[in-house]
A and B are shown apart, each in its own frame.
Chain A
Amino acid sequence: MNLEKRGKLDKLFAAGRPAKTATGPVEYGFETRLLARIRAERERSPWAEAVWRLIPAFAAIVVALGVWNFAGRNGDSTNLHTAITGHADTSLLVSTLTGD
C-alpha cells in the first residue's frame, strides 16, 4: 500500500474524528416523542399486531388460490370445451345422419 496515500487517509480520519453533528436540537424533547411512540405501540391490540404480521401470509395464500383457480379453470374449460364441442359435433352428426 502506498504509504503516502495511507498517511493522507489517516490524516483525513484524524481530521474527521471531531467532526460530529450537533445533536442538541434533536435531543430536545426526545424522551417525550419516544414514550409517545412506545405507548402507541403498546396500545395497539395484540390481535391487530398479529393480523399485521400475518398480512404477507394472507397475501401469499390469496395469490396461490388465484393462480390455482385460474389454472384449474383454464384446464377445466379446455376439457369442457372439448367435451361440449365433441358432444356438439356428435349430435350434429347424429341429427344430420338421422334427419332428426
Chain B
Amino acid sequence: MSAQTDDPTDERLIQDALTGDDEAFTALVRRHKGKVFGIASRYARNDHDLDDLAQEVFIRAYRKLDKFRGDAPFEHWLSRIAVRSCYDFLRKTRPEKQNVSLDSMNMTLTDIAADKPVSTHEVREILDFALNHLSAKDRLVITLLELEEKSVREVAELTGWGEANVKVRAFRARKALEKVLRIYHEP
C-alpha cells in the first residue's frame, strides 16, 4: 500500500468530506483534535465545557468546509475558528465562582515572585481566578500573547483584530490583571 493511501493529505480528506465521506472528516478530526483541545483547554472551566467547545469548533469547521480555499494550512484555518469559538464562549458564559483561599494564593504568589517551585494546579487556579476578572477580549489577548506565546501579528490573524488594537488591549489587560493581583496580594 502506498504512503499516500495510508496518510492522505488534509486537502484530500477535505475533498472527500465534502462529498459526504464521514470517515474522511473523522480522520481530519482525529488528526487535528489535539490542537483544538489545546486551545480550548485554556478557556473551558471543566471537562463538559471542553467537550462542548471542541465540538462547536469542529461543527463550525464542518459547516464552512466548502469555504476552505487552501491558501493557508488547514491547521491555521481551524485555529482561527477555534479562537473565535473560544471568544464566543467567553462572551456567553459567566465565570464560575471560585473558592480560592487568599492565604494559599498569597503564598503561591510569593513563591512565584521568589522563583520557588509551585504546583501547576495552584498556578492554574490563580490564573483562572485573575483572568475571570477580565473582559472576554482582554482574557483572550492575554491568554494568546502571554500563555500561548503568540506574537502580536499571530494574535491579530487569529482574532481578526488589528495589530494596534491587540497591543492596546494587551496593555490594558495587563494593567487590569496587575490591579486584581494587587488587591489580593500585597507584599
- The interface of chain A, by Cβ under 8 A from chain B, is 1-2, 5-9, 11-13, 15-21, 23, 25-27, 30-31, 33-35, 37-39, 41
Contacts and interface: CB of A to CB of B under 8 A. Distances in A.
Contacts of B182: 5
B59 A17 contact: no
A41 B58 CA distance: 13
Given A16-B123, A21-B44, A26-B47, A11 B115 contact: yes
Contact of A35 (B26, B42, B147, B178): B26
Contact of A23 (B26, B41, B120): B41
A9 B146 CA distance: 10
Contact of A18 (B44, B120, B126): B120
Nearest to A25: B47
Nearest to A5: B178
Size range of the interface on B?
Answer: 35 or more
B121 interface: yes
Contacts of A35: 22, 25-26
B115 A20 contact: no
A29 to B, nearest CB: 10
Interface in B59-78: 59, 62
Given A8-B113, A12-B181, A16-B146, 20 more contacts: A9-B181, A11-B113, A12-B112, A12-B126, A13-B147, A15-B120, A16-B124, A17-B149, A19-B123, A20-B42, A21-B41, A26-B54, A27-B37, A30-B54, A31-B29, A31-B30, A33-B55, A34-B29, A37-B55, A37-B59
